[in-house]
């Protein structure tokens, strides 16, 4: 009897199911499961060597998994060669064919699909207009600037209407202002086309600003998968808390654990945090409390329940001021405190003795490591 294929309800555009990949002794990916929804912009974020590129290469078919299954639009593709997967890929070094003009580069994927010439020319013209490169058709890749090469690479990947767009650290070679404008442009194009996109970066601010969802990776595993706000506000472990955004790590003691909230004692202050990661702890066990720089408040030194310290560095950032405060009672490391506006420059000069308090809500706590 033949099995009747089941149609899943919420079918993912790309699904990794317990995918493992080894290189000799190195386990590059360890039973990674991930669903990328149709039309979503998903970012793989993690430090160098955590397996991001490997995951992307598995989706592209440049590598095969040692265990687990990969499917695209519900179809298992483990054995499907790259050229039959219909993916669009943008490489870190762009990989524009140096012996072909811009137009030929972009038309390459249409030629392999045997698209007739008139339609081909029209689609090339359209996509070049989309990436703002009209008029560059005859140029060779070496005659283009870095940003222009990037656009050609994007156009070449887009023109084939890929089922999924894969980008491996595409902006890491660009300078800051160009990078920002390319990010915005990519996101606009992606939204307009409703394109399922997997984006790889080790830059957490890029991940937070671009993505619908972020998968934070470390050592071949996905540590947390969630919206940028989730991974920033509610990290699920210490790695995510430290890796995503600036964070201060303070050692406190558990005062009480309730159903949803726990209270942590930090010097003379008491801070309420979600209790889910602390449920197994005994009372007065040590905990690591993570406080974002913008959750600190600088107050006058004699304020009760504030930690006392003194300002050791002031970093003026235009829109805000970063203060480094030495607070021996709370942490061996300097506290990074962010103060909106620029009053802090005058109010809390170098060497000033200040009080630091923590605004309620938004802190994360984990059992001490």
Ligand X SMILES: Nc1ncnc2c1ncn2[C@@H]1O[C@H](COP(=O)(O)OP(=O)(O)O)[C@@H](O)[C@H]1O
Binding interface with Mg ion (CB under 5 A): 53
Q: Which is nearer to another protein, 154 or 321 (CB)?
A: 154
52 contacts 217 by C-beta, under 8 angstroms: yes
The label of the residue with tokens 């030194």 reads 301
304 near another protein, judged by CB under 8 A? no
Helix (H, G, I), strand (E, B) or coil at 156: helix
Size of the site for another protein (CB under 8 A): 26
Q: Which of 157, 158, 264, 298 binds another protein (CB under 8 A)?
A: 157
Which residue intervals of the chain are DSSP H helices? 52-60, 102-112, 117-130, 146-158, 176-193, 204-210, 228-233, 238-243, 343-347
Q: Decide whether 87 or 110 has the Cβ nearer to Mg ion.
A: 87
Exactly one of 62, 76, 229, 349 binds another protein (CB under 8 A); which one?
Answer: 62
Nearer to Mg ion by Cβ, of 153 and 327: the residue is: 153
Classified as helix, coil or strand, 164 is coil
Binding to another protein by residue 78, rule CB under 8 A? Answer: no
Q: How far apart are CA 349 and CA 344, in angstroms?
A: 8
- Near ligand X in 9-68, by CB under 6 A: 23, 26, 28, 46, 48-54
Rank residues 53 and 247 by Cβ distance to Mg ion and give the closer one: 53
Residues in 109-148 that interact with another protein by CB under 8 A: 109, 112-113
Strand order in the sheet with 320-326: 296-299, 353-358, 307-316, 320-326, 335-340
Q: Which of Mg ion, another protein, ligand X, none has residue 95 at its interface (CB below 5 to 8 Å by kind)? A: another protein
Q: In Å, how far from its chain's centre is CA 162? A: 22
350 binds ligand X per the rule CB under 6 A: no
Q: Does 86 bind another protein (CB under 8 A)?
A: yes
Stretch in the footprint of another protein (CB under 8 A) among 38-46, 78-86, 174-182, 343-351: 78-86
Please list the residues that pair with 323 across neighbouring strands: 314, 337
Q: State yes or no: residue 88 binds another protein (CB under 8 A).
A: yes
β-partners of residue 129 are none
Whole-angstrom distance, CA of residue 232 vs CA of residue 205:
10
Q: How far is the CB of 157 from Mg ion (least distance, A)?
A: 18
Q: Which CB sits closer to Mg ion, 14 or 264?
A: 14
Stretch that binds another protein, among 22-30, 64-72, 81-89, 236-244 (CB under 8 A): 81-89
Among the residue ranges 59-67, 182-190, 196-204, 273-281, the one whose residues contact another protein (CB under 8 A): 59-67
Judging by DSSP bridges, how do beta strands 165-168 and 197-201 pair with one another? parallel
Output 112 or 205, the one with its CB closest to another protein.
112
- Backbone conformation region of residue 80, classed left if phi is above 0, alpha if psi is from -120 to 50, else beta: beta
Token pair for residue 266? Answer: 């930090």
Residue 26 interface partner, choices ligand X, another protein, Mg ion, none, CB cut-off 5-8 Å depending on type: ligand X
3-state secondary structure of 55: helix
Alpha-carbon separation of residue 238 from 232, 241, 249, 358, 366 (angstroms): 12, 5, 9, 19, 7
Cα separation values, 155 from 88, 128, 150, 209, Å: 10, 6, 9, 22
Member of 13, 29, 160, 250 binding another protein (CB under 8 A): 160
Which one of 29-37, 38-46, 93-101, 233-241 is the stretch in contact with another protein (CB under 8 A)?
93-101
Decide if residue 95 touches another protein (CB under 8 A). Answer: yes
- Phi and psi dihedrals of 226, rounded to 5? -175, 180
Among 57-65, 173-181, 343-351, 358-366, which window interacts with another protein (CB under 8 A)? Answer: 57-65
Task: Kindly list the residues in this chain that would bind ligand X in the complex (CB under 6 A).
Answer: 23, 26, 28, 46, 48-54
Task: Kindly list the residues in this chain that would bind another protein in the complex (CB under 8 A).
Answer: 60-62, 81-89, 91, 93, 95, 97-99, 108-109, 112-113, 156-157, 160, 166
């Amino acid at each position: 009897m033949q099995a009747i294929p089941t149609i899943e309800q919420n079918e993912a555009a790309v699904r990794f199911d317990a995918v493992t990949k080894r290189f000799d002794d190195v386990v590059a990916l360890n039973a990674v499961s991930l669903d990328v929804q149709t039309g979503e912009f998903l970012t793989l974020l993690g430090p160098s060597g955590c397996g991001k590129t490997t995951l992307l290469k598995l989706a592209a078919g440049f590598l095969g998994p040692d265990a687990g299954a990969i499917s695209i639009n519900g179809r298992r593709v483990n054995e499907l060669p790259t050229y039959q997967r219909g993916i669009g890929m943008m490489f870190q070094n762009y990989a524009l064919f140096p012996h072909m003009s811009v137009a030929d580069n972009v038309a390459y994927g249409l030629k392999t699909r045997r698209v007739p010439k008139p339609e081909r020319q029209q689609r090339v013209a359209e996509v070049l207009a989309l990436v703002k490169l009209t008029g560059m058709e005859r140029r060779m890749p070496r005659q283009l600037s870095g940003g222009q090469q990037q656009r050609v690479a994007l156009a070449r990947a887009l023109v084939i209407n890929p089922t999924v767009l894969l980008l491996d650290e595409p902006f890491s070679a660009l300078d800051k202002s160009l990078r920002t404008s390319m990010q915005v442009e990519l996101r606009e194009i992606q939204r307009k086309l409703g394109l399922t996109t997997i984006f790889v970066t080790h830059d957490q601010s890029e991940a937070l600003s671009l993505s619908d969802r972020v998968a934070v990776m470390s050592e071949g595993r996905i540590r947390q998968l969630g919206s940028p706000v989730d991974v920033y506000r509610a990290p699920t472990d210490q790695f995510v808390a430290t890796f995503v955004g600036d964070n201060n790590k303070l050692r406190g003691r558990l005062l009480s654990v309730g159903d949803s909230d726990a209270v942590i004692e930090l010097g003379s202050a008491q801070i309420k945090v979600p209790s889910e990661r602390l449920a197994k702890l005994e009372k007065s066990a040590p905990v690591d409390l993570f406080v974002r720089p913008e959750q600190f408040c600088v107050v006058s030194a004699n304020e009760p329940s504030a930690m006392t310290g003194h300002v050791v560095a002031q970093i003026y950032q235009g829109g805000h001021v970063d203060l480094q405060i030495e607070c021996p009672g709370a942490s061996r490391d300097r506290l990074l405190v962010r103060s909106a506006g620029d009053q802090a420059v005058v109010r809390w000069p170098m060497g000033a003795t200040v009080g630091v308090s923590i605004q309620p809500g938004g802190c994360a706590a984990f059992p001490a490591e």
